[in-house]
Amino acid sequence: KKLIIINGPNLNLLGKREPEIYGSQTFEDYLEILINKYPKVELDYFQSNIEGELIDKIQETGFSADGIILNAAAYTHTSVGIGDAIKAISTPVIEVHISNTFSREEFRHQSYISPNASGVILGFGLKSYDLAIESFFND
């Protein structure tokens, strides 16, 4: 299986960014664990702080990958463009969040990703990504 994890803005700072919410592990360290755990998965990774670059990557991989695991971070709550990109592609998208966005501020309850996602996993810390990968093996 060919899966790609796409992380949005500020997720490059995982490990030092609000660790009480997002934990103290860097994503690079966690990715290493995932790659070792799923040796049969071809696992790609992309992170950008730029909305258009995220859309470019969704378009680029959205007709060839078996799945996109997307944490659009703050753009989740604002980006019609990313929502439309997910509608435009054929690869299924799993929306992921580290924190439980529904237990946080009201503005985090809105998602432009969810209506177009094939599934949503949130609130399990970095393990949310692991659960998303696992979801591709339940078929």
Residues that constitute the known binding site for substrate:
71, 77, 84, 98-99, 108
Place of tokens 């998602």: 111
Of 57 and 97, nearer to ligand DQA (C-beta) is 97
User: Residue 89 CB, nearest distance to ligand DQA (Å)?
Assistant: 20
The CA distance from 57 to 44, in Å, is 11
> Should residue 111 be labelled a site residue for ligand DQA when binding is judged by CB under 6 A?
no
The CA distance from 69 to 124, in Å, is 15
Spatial neighbors of 92 by CB under 8 A, at least 6 apart, are: 67, 68, 118
Instruction: Pick from 34, 101, 113, 129 the residue near ligand DQA by CB under 6 A.
Output: 101
Q: How far apart are the first and last CA of the chain?
A: 12
Q: Which of these segments, 35-43, 50-58, 68-76, 110-118, binds ligand DQA (CB under 6 A)?
A: 68-76
> Should residue 120 be labelled a site residue for ligand DQA when binding is judged by CB under 6 A?
no
Footprint on residues 9-48 left by ligand DQA (CB under 6 A): 10
Whether 30 is catalytic: no
Of 47 and 71, nearer to ligand DQA (C-beta) is 71
- Tell me the CA distances in angstroms from 42 to 2, 47, 49, 89, 127, one per residue in order: 5, 17, 24, 20, 18
Chain residues that interact with ligand DQA, rule: CB under 6 A:
10, 71, 73-74, 76, 97-99, 101, 108
